[in-house]
A and B are shown apart, each in its own frame.
Chain A
C-alpha cells in the first residue's frame, strides 16, 4: 500500500512540476508584448546612446562617426561649464526636494486632518491645477507675470510704490525664482503623495493611538511612518529624478541666463545635442545623467530596504 501511495505521490508531484513549468512559460508569453515594447523603445535607444558616447559624431560635420574611446568622457570631466551646471543642478535638486516635500507634507496633512471640510474637493482640484498644466505653458505664464514692463507681478509692486524688479535677469534672483516656480508647480504632487501615504495608515491604528494618548511624535514614528514611508519615499524619488531633468523652466524663462546662472545640466545637454548637434558628447552627458538617476533610485531603495530589514 505504502509503495502504491508513494508512486502516486510522485506522479502528482511530477504532474504539478510540469504544470508549474507550463504556467511559467505562459506567464512569459504574456509578458512578450510589453517586453518587446520596453526593449524597442527603452533598451535599444539606451544602448545606442551608450555606443554613441564612445564616438565622435557631429551632425554638422561631414565626417562619419568614428570611435574615439573615452575621449568624450574626458572632455566632459574637464568641461568647467558642465561641472558648474551639474553643481547648480544638485543645488536646485536639493532645494526643490526640501521645499516641495516640506510644503507638500504640510498641505497634505492639512487636507487629511480636515476631511469633512466644506469645499475640500474644490480646493484640492484647484491645488492640483499647476501639476496638470504643461511645464512649458507654466514657464511662459510665469515669464509673462514676471515681465518687468507689462507683467502683473510688477504692476502690483508699483501699486504699493515699490520699484520694478526684473527678477529673471537679476544675477541673484533668477535662480531662486526658478526654484519658486518649480515649487509652485510640483508641491501639489508631493501633497498628493502625502495624502496617498497618509491614506494608507489604518484608521484603527490612529484611533488606538489617540485612545492610548500617545504623543504626536510617537504617533508619527510608530503608527504613521511605517505605513506611509513607501509612498512618501516613492514621491521623493520621482520628484528627485524629475528635478534632475528640469530643462523646460530654465529654457523658457531665462534661457540659462543671466550668464549661466540658471543653466541646469539638462539644458546644457539640450544645447549640445540640438544646437551644436554634437551627438557624441551629448550622449556622454546623457550617460552621466542616467547614472545619477539609477544611483538615486538605488539609494532610496537601499534606505527603504534597510529600514524594513532592521524592523524584521
Chain B
C-alpha cells in the first residue's frame, strides 16, 4: 500500500533547478532513505513532502489524496531536523509532552507515551532535567522522541546525526535502528552518508542533480548499480571503473586485462564504454589458479574492519581490491587475480548500466 506518492514534482529556486520532474512512491511502514551528495535535492524533496516548500510544479499525494497545497500543520507528519530543535526553557518531559497536549489525549495516555519513548531512547534519567543543560546528542534524542511520541502518519529525518559528536553519533544511530525496526512506521530519512543509508534503509533512493538515479533495496543498489554514479557513490572504496582504452570489444565479447577470457555479452557489447568491478569482486592469490591473470601490488593499506586494501596494476591499468586481513598479510608483490563474470558491470557512454 502506498503512503506517499510524488508525481512529476519539480522545484526551482530562481535559475537553480533543485528537483527535476520527480515521480516517486514511498510504501507504507518502510524506511526510505534519500541518499546523495550535498545539493542533490534530497532535503528539498523532504521539505516538499513536509509542506515546508511548495513545488514549482507537480503533485504530492498522501494515501492517494492530493496534499500538494495542504498546510504543514494538517499533514500529520513528524520531522527531526539537522540541528537538534528543542523548546528552550522547559524540561525534557515538557518538551516531549508539548505536541501531545494539542492532540487532545488523556493525561494518562500522554504520560504513558512519554515514558515509553524516553525508555526506548534511553533518556528516562533526563526527563526532569532542563533541556538547555543537555548536550547535543541528548537534545537530538529528545527531538526524535518528541516526534515518535506523537505517532504521526510519517516521520521525516533530515540528516539527524550530522551535527553530533562521534560518540553520541554511534549511540543515536543504534537507537534509531532499533526504533525503526520496532515502530514499523513510514519513515523518510535524508543523509549523504552511505553507511547510515545501508544500515537503516528498507529502500534507498539515490539522488543526483535533482533526479532520482535509482531506487532499490540497499543490497540491490549495491550489487546492481544502474549507473556509474551509483557504483561510485556506494561502497568504500567506490567501484573500480575500467575505461574504454583498457577494453577490447571483439564482436559480442568483451575482454580486459582483468580477466583471462572475454565475457560474452551478446548484441549489447557494442554499447559498452566502461566496465565496473567492486573492490571485493576481485579474488587475489599468491599462486596461479585456472583463469587467473597476473597483477602487481603497488601499495597495501589496512582499511575498515581490518581488511587490506590493495592497489593492483595490470600493466597501465590500476584498480583497487579488498582482501581479508589474513590474506592481505601473506600477499607478495606479484599476485594472481580472478574476477567472476557476475562481478562485472557494464556501462554505456552516458554512464548507464547496459
Contacts and interface: CB of A to CB of B under 8 A. Distances in A.
A192 B32 CA distance: 44
A269 B98 CA distance: 53
Contacts of A208: 79, 81, 85, 143
Which one of A211, A213, A218, A311 has the highest number of Cβ atoms from chain B below 10 Å of its Cβ? A211
Contacts of B88: 222, 226, 311
Nearest to B155: A211
Contact of B78 (A204, A211, A218, A226): A211
A163 interface: no
Given A208-B81, A222-B98, A213 B73 contact: yes
B72 interface: yes
B99 A207 contact: no
Contact of A222 (B83, B89, B130, B150): B89
21 contacts: A204-B81, A204-B85, A207-B72, A207-B81, A208-B79, A208-B81, A210-B72, A210-B73, A211-B50, A211-B72, A211-B73, A211-B77, A212-B78, A212-B99, A212-B150, A213-B103, A214-B102, A218-B98, A222-B87, A311-B89, A312-B132
A221 B305 CA distance: 50
Interface residues of B, number: 27
Nearest to B72: A210
A180 to B, nearest CB: 38
Nearest to B50: A211
Interface string A219-255: 0001100100000000000000000000000000000
A207 B52 contact: yes
B90 interface: yes
B146 interface: yes
Nearest to B133: A312
Interface in A146-177: none
Given A207-B50, A311-B130, 13 more contacts: A204-B82, A204-B85, A205-B85, A207-B52, A207-B81, A208-B85, A211-B50, A213-B102, A214-B98, A214-B99, A218-B102, A222-B88, A222-B89
Top 4 closest pairs, chain A to chain B, by CB: A212-B99, A208-B85, A311-B89, A222-B87
A210 B85 CA distance: 12
A181 B101 CA distance: 45
Contacts, number: 57
A312 B133 CA distance: 8
B37 to A, nearest CB: 22
A159 B49 CA distance: 57
Nearest to B87: A222
A19 interface: no
B52 A213 contact: no
A215 interface: yes
Nearest to B84: A204
Contacts of A226: 88-89
Given A212-B98, A212-B99, A204 B83 contact: yes
Contact of A311 (B73, B85, B132): B132
A215 to B, nearest CB: 6
Nearest to B74: A213
A43 to B, nearest CB: 38
B211 to A, nearest CB: 26
Find the residue from A205, A210, A213, A214 having the highest chain B CB count within 10 A. A213
A213 B85 contact: no
A223 B87 contact: yes
Nearest to B78: A211
Contacts of B103: 213
Contacts of B101: 218
A163 to B, nearest CB: 51
A205 B101 CA distance: 18
A202 B130 CA distance: 20
B67 to A, nearest CB: 14
A212 B132 contact: no
A210 B98 CA distance: 12
Contacts of A207: 50, 52, 72, 79, 81
Contacts of A215: 102
Nearest to A205: B85
Contacts of B143: 208
A208 B85 CA distance: 7
Most buried by B among A202, A207, A223: A207
A226 B166 CA distance: 30
A78 B194 CA distance: 81
A207 B52 CA distance: 7
Interface in B57-100: 71-73, 77-79, 81-83, 85, 87-90, 98-99
Nearest to B152: A211
Contacts of B146: 212
Contacts of B78: 211-212
A218 B132 CA distance: 18
A306 B73 CA distance: 34
A210 B53 CA distance: 13
B90 A222 contact: yes
Nearest to B150: A212
A215 B147 CA distance: 16
Contacts of B87: 205, 222-223
A228 to B, nearest CB: 12
